[in-house]
Amino acid sequence: MPSSSNHAAVAFVPARSGSSRVPHKNIARLNGHPALAYTITAARAADVFAEIVLCTDDPLYARIGEYYGAVVPLLRPAEISTSTSPDIEWVVFMLDALAAQGRSCELFSILRPTNPFRRAATISKAFETIITKPGADSLRAVSPATEHPGKMWVLRGEFMYPLLPLTPPDAPWHSQQMAALPRVFKQNASLEIAWTRVARADPPTIAGHAVLPFISEGYDGFDINMPEDLAEAAALIAKGRVKLPQIDRAPFPDKLPTDAR
């Protein structure tokens, strides 16, 4: 375990191969390297994890992960690698797999490879934050929301109803100025860290109840979720507006499904 912590921690990099909106987004090349390489590199540089584990259902993704310094104890089964599979399913699966091999941990972090701009310093800062808050179950990166849920509606039949009905009856949020509404935050793709005990609770979760906010800065919360996000990431890199983690090896040499794009 790195000397910067007395707590055994593991980083999980989830990279299933079945993305429909941006096919193979986790291995789309950015500046020559597959996207997931930057998350693995940042996790290694943070120096807080005993292991960086790529959690994938695809043998090619596994080879890419291992090339850049992650370990792949085993592949995720197809039944927990669908577009609707809850994170807790593969988290428990990977924790069980590591425990069966004698590799237990007190904390786990989820570092999604759809954010190539996450910095090692961000990971280290978040890790130090959670271990100094003994009452916390987990920590989750968030950003200020640009659209307020108090002004959102759901449709039911011919009518619509406020998404958040429990607002002041004399001045509902949907009728107030934005400046008068409580500040809200949205979770982003930067990071999540939790004590392993929350995934072993009944019921198991990846967050527990006492969740620390970790407010992202700059592009630390960027997420490649749509085709335009991938184009934006490439443009940001080309214009020098953001720095990628510095990778210490040549680009993955084999042809990737995204190389023909």
- Whether 160 and 120 share a structural domain: no
What are 161's strand-pairing partners? 154
Tell me the CATH number at 41. Answer: 3.90.550.10
Q: Does 76 share its domain with 193?
A: yes
Number of domains in the chain: 2
- With contact defined as beta carbons under 8 Å apart, do 41 and 6 qualify? no
Same domain, 55 and 178: no
The tally of CA atoms less than 13 A away on the side-chain side of residue 68 is 30
Q: Is 50 inside a domain boundary?
A: yes
Please give the residue range of the domain that contains residue 69: 9-141+187-238
Do 88 and 153 fall within a single domain?
Answer: no
Q: How far apart are CA 183 and CA 193, in angstroms?
A: 23
Q: Report whether 191 contacts 126 (CB < 8 A).
A: yes
Encoded amino acid at 62, one letter: A
Residues 56, 153: one domain? no
Q: What is the pTM of this model?
A: 0.92
Per-residue pLDDT of the chain (261 residues; tens, 9 = 90+): 343 456 899 999 999 998 888 999 999 999 999 999 999 999 999 999 999 999 999 999 999 999 999 999 999 999 999 989 999 999 999 999 999 999 989 999 999 999 999 999 999 999 999 999 989 999 999 999 999 999 999 999 999 999 988 777 788 888 899 888 989 999 999 999 999 999 999 999 999 999 999 999 999 999 999 999 999 999 999 999 999 999 999 999 999 998 865
User: Nearest to residue 10, comparing CAs of 70, 87, 79?
Assistant: 70
